[in-house]
Structure 1
Amino acid sequence: MPPPPANSIDRINVYNEKHLHAALKAWYTRPGDRLEVAIDGYIIDIVRDNLLIEVQTAGFSSLKHKLACLLPRHPVRLVYPIPQEKWLVKRHGSGQTSRRKSPQRGSIYRLFSELVSFPHLPALPNFSLEILLTQEEEIRRHEAGRRWRRGGWVTEERRLLQVVGQQRFNTPAELAALLPANLPTPFTTADLASALGQPRRLAQQMAYCLRELALILPAGKQGNAISYVIPEP
């Protein structure tokens, strides 16, 4: 095993890389890219010329310190997968497996459920975000001591089947383009959820992020609900 570069936290990430992270990194890599490069005390997934590319399969909030160190000196692109379709694979104690398609479908709007923990991230200089819409398998195993959660089934890993779409956001304003054109003026998160065909909670997370980025502005209330307007360009 080669000597570990950079700090111990990133070293652990390299040697225990999960299937989904490795598969996405392989899919995203182009000829000439450098992989697992130590820069400023961190291991960077992909270095493409002067661009640092980080594949993130979990929450954004864990990246706050890393990005605070890197962004003042380097352009950084965060690549994040959202499973548009997912198949659940259950490994039973008998050694048998079962597979079924999840009825849930992911959408580009799910990025706001992660961004809500770090809403100013798109406004940071040198930052860009790329969303990959994927088809995935979620591998679950049964643990008898965890019957309180999903009937004892716990997620073991996620596996990439296919990338079916991608969308890049280079500026905060590009996130505002996700607002549907048929919103009333002003609008509430209930209006937003209805126009998007998404749950109210996700619409609330989207509105919070766009408000923090000044891409929508509060405009009073409709009953107990805050109403918003889109500012003039």
Structure 2
Amino acid sequence: MKADYAEPGDRFEVPLDGFVIDIVRDGSLIEIQTGSFGAMGKKLDHLLPSNQIVVVYPIAVETYLQKPGVTPRKSPKHGSVYDLFAELVSIPTLVDHPNLSLEVVLVAVTKIQVADAKVRRGRGGFRTEDRQLREILGRHRFDEGRDLLELVPDGLPPVFTTADLARRAGIGRGVAQQMAYCLRPLGLFIEQGRTKAGIEYSLAV
């Protein structure tokens, strides 16, 4: 991903204050994060006060499985930009830091798989040896917390639950709950009360 994201003049794997920065570009620090956002907490807390940081988070919306000797096949599993919230729950208010931007990159990837007798039969007897980027399909940039409202679907009632949010966005209830967990402390979802159907919210004006 670093090679595909790179631009002329970039510097890579740059040491700074005891941390290693993926890419330094025109005074900005770029971190390509494929794992847990929680693992970045210490680095962000230390560097954000004096540095502009862009966290790039790739999400595989299309995955192809490449087994030896056969044509790659498309996996039925797919991601979406809403997968961001599964990671954002660990640092929900940091997205509002003036020195932090998030860039979600929607990608198609190929998983290179090899036979492995140690892998249980339920997983087909194959393990993933490598992941290769096939294509960048889209990007979403969030420079402040309020930018996350672009992911709130149209057509919500004035007062809504995460069930309403899930239905309108076409996502699972659990993902909608993660979304609400992130947007409430940012002041974007206002809690209005609780019913048997769940917590009721309204959108910040």
Give the TM-score normalised by the residue count of structure 1.
Answer: 0.81
Which residue, out of 169, 178, 186, partners 2:142? 169
SS in 2 for 1:203: helix
1:147 paired to 2:120:
yes
- Tell me the residue number matched to 2:62: 85
- Tell me the residue number matched to 1:61: 38
Q: Return the offset for 1:99.
A: 2.5
Gaps of at least 5 residues in structure 1 are 1-23
Q: What letter corresponds to residue 230 of structure 1 in structure 2?
A: L
Which residue, out of 114, 119, 140, partners 2:87? 114
SS in 2 for 1:184: coil
Q: What letter corresponds to residue 103 of structure 1 in structure 2?
A: P
Extract structure 1 runs of 4+ deviating beyond 6 A.
Answer: none
- Tell me the residue number matched to 1:202: 175
- Tell me the residue number matched to 1:229: 202
Give the TM-score normalised by the residue count of structure 2.
Answer: 0.92
* 2:161–2:197 CA contact under 8 A, matched in 1: no
- Tell me the residue number matched to 1:220: 193
CA offsets per residue over residues 148-179 of structure 1, 9 Å max, x none? 76244433322101111111100000002210
RMSD: 1.8
- Tell me the residue number matched to 2:78: 105
Q: What percentage of residue pairs aligned between the two structures are identical? A: 47
Structure-2 separation of matches of 1:68 and 1:149: 41
Q: 1:221 to 1:60 in 2, by over 3 A?
A: same
Q: What letter corresponds to residue 158 of structure 2 in structure 1?
A: T
1:136 paired to 2:109:
yes
Gaps of at least 5 residues in structure 2 are none
* 1:72–1:125 CA contact under 8 A, matched in 2: no
